Amino acid sequence: MTFFQLYGDQLVTAIFQHLYISFVSLALGAIVAVPLGVLLTRTPKLANIVLGITSALQTIPSLALLTLMIPFLGIGRFPAIVALFIYSLLPILRNTYIGLKNVDAHYLDVAKGMGMTPVQSIIQVELPLALPTIMAGIRLGAVYVIAWASLASYIGAGGLGVLIFSGLDNYQPSLIFAGTIPVTILALLADFLLGKLEYKLTPSALRKAENE
């Protein structure tokens, strides 16, 4: 009880900062990666280049990437969001590309036979069928972003990392736990909620086929 009296307000603020940074980064990642993944299925040569670049960016240590943002974007939430956005791209982009490439050609033939345009085929047939794979990438990206957002405090972005590193610097295990436990809970909760969203958005016929 004493801990919450001392740090309760700081903890609540840190949680909201962490959620804001993570949500904006993941949302931007999905907004960019899903359309780009669709485009890459139509341009195989470009796909190898873009996927290679995003894979290379993924290998940069998160703290190093955050540090590299400082000379260009300064400190604060914006550079942290940019760095986390870059990290969210690969799982979403890769899963979108794989999910669309694995759509059965028979469905594409049926869509074409019904007179659908390429855009209509993508929106009404391919994306719904690829949705489970795409959502798996978004769920993975969410877990990554929420975990790595803890490091954003190093460049003044706030979040639960403030408590974690304050606890490490001052040898206060209670602060470390106060930062680490909510991060874990938020990551698990995000994965659970996105799983529920995936279930709601997946066509019922596809859900029945998967359960059989």
User: Which tens digit of pLDDT belongs to each residue from 95-147?
Assistant: 999 999 998 888 888 888 888 888 889 888 899 989 999 999 999 999 999 99
**Domains in the chain, CATH or no CATH each:** 7-204 (1.10.3720.10)
Residue 209: the pLDDT is 55
Q: How confident is the model at residue 23 (pLDDT cuts 50, 70, 90)?
A: very high
Asked whether the predicted pLDDT for residue 34 surpasses 90, the reply is: yes
Q: Is 111 helix (H, G, I), strand (E, B) or coil?
A: helix
Asked whether the predicted pLDDT for residue 168 surpasses 60, the reply is: yes
* pLDDT cut 90: percent of the chain above it: 41
Q: How far apart are CA 125 and CA 94, in angstroms?
A: 19
3-state DSSP helix/strand/coil percent for the chain, to nearest 5? 90, 0, 10
User: What's the pTM value of the predicted model, to 2 decimals?
Assistant: 0.89
User: Which tens digit of pLDDT belongs to each residue from 51-93?
Assistant: 888 888 888 888 888 888 888 888 889 999 999 999 899 899 9
Phi and psi of 112, rounded to 5°? -65, -40
Q: How far apart are CA 188 and CA 78, in angstroms?
A: 25
Residue 140: the pLDDT is 93
